[in-house]
Amino acid sequence: MDPVKDSKPIRRFPAIFPSLRQVSRVLHPKVLFAWENSVQYRASNTSWLDGLRGIAALQVYFFHFFGLHTHWGNPYGATPEDVYIHQLPLFRGIWAAGSAAVCIFFVISGFAITIKCLTLLRKGQHLACYESLASSLIRRGFRLYLPVVLVGIPGFFLMRTVDMVEAGTFSFEFERKNSTMEQLLDFVHRTDAHISPFTYAETHEFRDRYPYAPSAWTIPMEYYGSIVSYLTILFVSRIPAFKLRCAVIGFSSLYALHRGCWWASLFLNGMLLAEVMLEQRHRAATSEKHAAPTSRARHMFYQIPFVLMFAFGYYMGGVPPKVLPFDFHPIPRVGYQWLYTLYPPFWMFEMQEDTRWLWYWSGMFIIIGISQVPWLRRVPESTFCQWLGKLSFSLYLVHPAIIAVLKPHLDRFIDGSGAGKGVKCAFDFITLTPICFIVAAVTERWIDQPSVTFARWFEKRITRQETEKSIELPLGRQLEMEEQAPLVERIWPEEEEGKEPSDALLGSPGSSQRRASHDRIS
């Protein structure tokens, strides 16, 4: 008997099983939440900004979510009913600091889009700086507005098919039109008005509202702040003295704040912070060999003012506005009332919203404090915060629509059980938060990253003639230009490939999957 002929054939699994394995891989939590190959953490002097952007985006989400479950304008003790622990200033800085988080976005954006050019200027590489500036200017509009428009398209369909007004302040009744054609025309008109660079940004979010992605009211301010930063780079590019450069940038920021352009002022503050940190790094490197050993006590004494600055900025982040246009009569804001006496006269700083002055300085104090205290930077440098930074722009854009669509249904479901406010809030949070992060991960992969890729492709496409010219240069000249290209050790991962360090609110750590999140946000 031939064992070969009589042996039974080996059974193979049906072809459906490989597809099931693929589905299981797609549904793996690391894939659903965009954790896989996304957080390639590398220690650097600026990685904490990536994580801080992620924390700020999470604060905006908390602000919008918990603001629907409580009177966010009422701190602890404002009324006899407001006696909950989450209303204390210690906790309001976590969930009620969404407006201060927007200010943090703008400072980080100003830092991110200018530090490369400032580094090149310090090396005397003016030609490379101008080329980098032109490249950033070409890509910036696509990087900011393309994800907003692509996220606005499903927002248009949701506006026609779902009642998004019921949840609260994300959509209004007048924004829902009577027919699909009217809604489509409104979508086109509002999208054109929102992304147009020839329309001056309004100073109040409700006047520049984009209902199909409500949180995108900050994106025109991001773009205008970027343009101001680029022009300031050109202005200071021929100024060799560090102190004079800082004086020019600081005066420009102060004048922008005087005119009420707080977003442009914050961008310039981010640029000024980048210049100061580069100078600190330079002095530390040049005086390293000759510097006397510094005692631990002296080092800690140096950090005390910055720790206090961070703590005060955190405290101010939870301050409610003195008057809410959609709220009832103004009431004393216990624990914050004395801050309202710090408002400057309108003729000095033309702030359309008084409390914006306090949120402005809250964001500034938080970033300055963290930048000078190494142990404060450990939290945003953590892997979790770096992951948050990757999803920050997408999370910032998509969470209002998710809350508006799903929260009313969740409330009706839990209302039948007779649960209290606390149980209802916890149920909504546990249900909506994973959904928001999953949708943000999908948006980051299929909208955010392709937007960055398209911007790079568009830049290479329209500058192809210049690229061909550079190839015809003599070999010696080509080598000279290549030697000028490298920057410092690592500023942003995009810079290693010649890309623009994105903003935004805007941040994600290295690898091709991290490229999309640095612009923005936020």
Residues 100 and 317: beta-carbon distance below 8 Å: yes
Tell me what pLDDT residue 517 has.
Answer: 40
Q: What is the mean pLDDT of the chain?
A: 81
pLDDT tens figures, 131-156: 999 999 999 999 999 999 999 999 99
Q: Report pLDDT digits (tens) over 24-36.
A: 666 677 777 878 7
Residues 356-363, mean pLDDT to the nearest whole number: 96
Per-residue model confidence as pLDDT tens digits over 155-167: 999 998 888 887 6
- The predicted-structure confidence for 455-513, as pLDDT tens digits, reads as follows 999 999 998 744 444 444 443 333 333 333 333 333 343 333 334 444 433 333 333 33
pLDDT confidence tier of residue 411, bands split at 50, 70 and 90:
confident
For the segment 52-65, the average pLDDT, to the nearest whole number, is 96
pLDDT digits (tens, 9 = 90+) for 225-249: 999 999 999 999 999 999 999 999 9
Percentage of residues of the chain with pLDDT beyond 90 = 54
Q: Where is 233: in which H helix or E strand?
A: helix 219-236
Which residue shows structure tokens 């404002």?
A: 78
DSSP line for 152-206: HHHHHHHHHHS--STTSSS--GGGS-SSHHHHHHHHHHHHHHHH-TTSPPPSSGG
Euclidean distance between CA atoms 282 and 412, whole angstroms:
60
Q: What percent of the chain has pLDDT over 70?
A: 77
- What's the predicted TM-score (pTM) here? 0.84
pLDDT in the model for residue 507: 35
Q: With 70 as the cut, is the pLDDT of residue 79 above it?
A: yes
Predicted local confidence at residue 174, as pLDDT: 86
The mean pLDDT value for 1-16 works out to: 51
Q: What is the b/e burial string over 354-391, where b = at least 16 CB atoms within 10 angstroms of the residue's CB?
A: bbbbbbbbbbbbbbbbbbbbeebbeebbbeebbbbbbb
> Residue-wise over 7-18: b if at least 16 C-beta within 10 A, else e?
eeeeeeeeeeee
- Answer whether residue 171 shows pLDDT above 70: yes
Looking at per-residue pLDDT, the higher value among 160 and 21 belongs to 160
Helix spans in 29-177 (H)? 29-32, 47-66, 89-95, 98-122, 126-161
The pLDDT score that the predictor gives to residue 166 is 73
Residue pair 521/53 in contact by the 8 Å Cβ criterion:
yes
Question: What pLDDT, on the 0 to 100 scale, is given for residue 354?
Answer: 85
How high is the pLDDT of residue 139? Answer: 95
Question: What pLDDT is recorded for position 514?
Answer: 40
143 close to 519: Cβ distance less than 8 angstroms: yes
pLDDT 10s digits, 174-221: 888 999 999 999 999 999 989 988 876 555 545 568 999 999 999 999
Is the pLDDT at 37 greater than 70, yes or no?
A: no
Query: Average pLDDT of 308-332?
Result: 83
pLDDT, position 24: 61
What pLDDT shows up at residue 476?
35
Confidence of residue 516 (pLDDT cuts 50, 70, 90): very low
CA nearest to 35, candidates 522, 514, 518, 410: 514
Q: Is the pLDDT of residue 388 over 70?
A: yes
129 contacts 113 by C-beta, under 8 angstroms: no
